Structure 1
Amino acid sequence: MSAALTPYWLIFRAGVRRQSTYWLATIGGLVANLTFGFLKAAILFATVEAAGGNLQGYDLATMSGYVWLSQGLLGCINAHGQSEIGDRIKNGDIAIDFARPTSVFASFAASDLGGGAYSFLPRGLPAIIVGALTTGIALAHDVSGWALGLLAVALGMMLSFCGRYAVNILGLWLVETRGLQVFYMVVSTFLMGLFIPVGLFPAWLKTVAHATPFPAMFMTPIDLLSGRIDGWAGAAAVGVQLAWLALLVTVCLLLTRLGRRYLEVQGG
């Protein structure tokens, strides 16, 4: 590994170790995911059956895939608006981060991705396995579908980080960003398809959702891993993720650069 990437790899590993420390929280998260997974499954299964067994392309197997994959990905694709950088801006520690010989954006991204990657193993994967054993789930049909699906998960994690980073980096101007965090959480969780699949939205709302990066964060990995989209359609969906990622990374880097010029830290 090149010397330029080594610090970020070490930060990624530190993010894994930090997340692994809170094993009671991980167990609590898994229990919550399973509880809400069964509740969501009961409601959505009843809806599909009431529609005659097929609801806008969702049958019981694909709906089950949506339910358990969505619950399983919650640990690594965060829908809340909080980010560590927001707290460091508020207490002034961000000045130390700017003084380090590493990219502030890349450092926080590496730490966040490390924690998210760890969360998937003890929290996300068991939820998917329990769903498969209890209600059965539809999954990707071939190796290419799995490869695209796992790539989409990684891109979804990065998109999720960029969204939260952009909200919290505004603290360089606002200092207090809790209101923005709550607003972001409400909008993102709905438009990403956390409660119901985006495919079930009314046409106008579906258009609004796809005008944002939120479905690319969450629904794209689920659709690929559940086999709802594959082949060229799957590749195109990953292409959309990459386009959103390029845009969001650019925005995050620009906000960081402009905010660094504006930053003023008092006290000592």
Structure 2
Amino acid sequence: MGVYTSVFWHGLRRYATYRAATAAGILTNSVFGCVSAFVLIAVWEARPGLAGWDAADAVAFVFVAQALIGVVAPFGPSLEIGERIRTGDVAIDLIRPVALPAWWLAQDLGRAAFGAVFRGVPTFAVGALLFTLTLPDGPAQWLAFAAATLLAALVGFGLRYLYALSAFWVVDDRGVQAVAWLVGPFFSGMFLPLALFPEPLGAVLRALPWSAMVQVPAEVFLGDHTGAGLAAALGFQAAWAAALLLAGRALTATAVRRVVVQGG
């Protein structure tokens, strides 16, 4: 466990060195959040009560989504294991006395922790200063949102790890990553709340793992889920996180055997 803790802190400190990139990310997310907020305010003025929200709920959703970008990384960065597979450096990773998925998970959680505190919080603060936002009612709802955010980070990692592992079969995973960066934000609710999609498309999108990255945490933040509904929402995220992590573990084992068979 000490090894993984060290890897976690290494991941956090590594991204802490990119101060200019962090500042640029905050600015970009804030500007895009403002543009989206004005669009949704206009929508809710035309359709009050749409999806059971008011304008403050819709704007809060926008800035929660923008704050989660640094946590779930729907636009990247991709995990470096994809590049290491392409160059052959993954052989070094495979001889380490640690589990490959756990190693990259620990590093990515460090990145996510940095993104949450130093990119997500400032982005949301900008939204709170410029607009009227709906906020959680009390500590219990804040804790539920923190749990949803952690599970969202696990789902985000699980997907990105699978994308990266594709390099064992397609050699270069950049094509897979490019498609994922187009599909993921759309399916997650990053571009537009899934509550606005017509049925049955909305129900289908909600059932996919990407919704656990943005839509569900934002709904928890807004208090849309309480009691048994909250447990079900967090359980949905946890189920997808477990499924993706187990799939990553199984595919890693398959890939390792493939490397050995090919003469690695």
Q: Same fold (TM over 0.5)?
A: yes
2:57 maps to: 62
> Which aligned pairs between 1:57-136 and structure 2 lie closer than 5 A?
57-80=52-75, 82-136=78-132
SS in 1 for 2:64: helix
Q: Return 185-194 or 136-145, whichever deviates more.
A: 136-145
How far off its partner does 1:267 sit? 11
1:158 to 151, 154, 157: 154
How far off its partner does 1:211 sit? 2.9
2:230 alignment partner AA: G
| Matching of residue 224 in structure 1 with residue 220 in structure 2 | yes
Report if the CA contact (8 A) 1:192-1:217 is conserved.
Answer: yes
SS in 2 for 1:136: coil
| Matching of residue 245 in structure 1 with residue 229 in structure 2 | no
- How far does the alpha carbon of each residue in 1:96-121 deviate from its partner, in whole angstroms, 9 at most, with x for none? 00000001100001101101101122
> Which aligned pairs between 1:1-268 and structure 2 lie closer than 5 A?
5-51=1-47, 53-80=48-75, 82-263=78-259
Distance in 1 between residues matched to 2:138 and 2:232, nearest whole Å? 17
Distance in 2 between residues matched to 1:263 and 1:86, nearest whole Å? 14
Aligned CA RMSD, in angstroms, stands at 1.7
Percent identity reads 37
How far off its partner does 1:73 sit? 1.0
Q: Which runs of 5+ in 1 are unaligned?
A: none
Distance in 1 between residues matched to 2:109 and 2:63, nearest whole Å? 21
How far off its partner does 1:210 sit? 2.4
How far off its partner does 1:265 sit? 10
SS in 2 for 1:230: coil
Q: Which runs of 5+ in 2 are unaligned?
A: none
Distance in 2 between residues matched to 1:131 and 1:256, nearest whole Å? 41
Under a length normalisation based on structure 2, what TM-score does the superposition of the two structures give? 0.95
Q: Return 211-220 or 35-44, whichever deviates more.
A: 211-220
How far off its partner does 1:266 sit? 9.3
SS in 2 for 1:263: helix
- How far does the alpha carbon of each residue in 1:167-209 deviate from its partner, in whole angstroms, 9 at most, with x for none? 1112112211111111112111111001111111111211221
Distance in 2 between residues matched to 1:17 and 1:265, nearest whole Å? 37
Change (3 A) 1:195 1:236: same
How far off its partner does 1:135 sit? 0.6
Distance in 1 between residues matched to 2:110 and 2:37, nearest whole Å? 30
1:93 alignment partner AA: D
Under a length normalisation based on structure 1, what TM-score does the superposition of the two structures give? 0.94
Distance in 2 between residues matched to 1:265 and 1:258, nearest whole Å? 11
1:38 alignment partner AA: C
- How far does the alpha carbon of each residue in 1:142-168 deviate from its partner, in whole angstroms, 9 at most, with x for none? 222111110010010010001010111
- Which segments of structure 1 move beyond 4 Å, counting only runs of 4 or more? 264-268
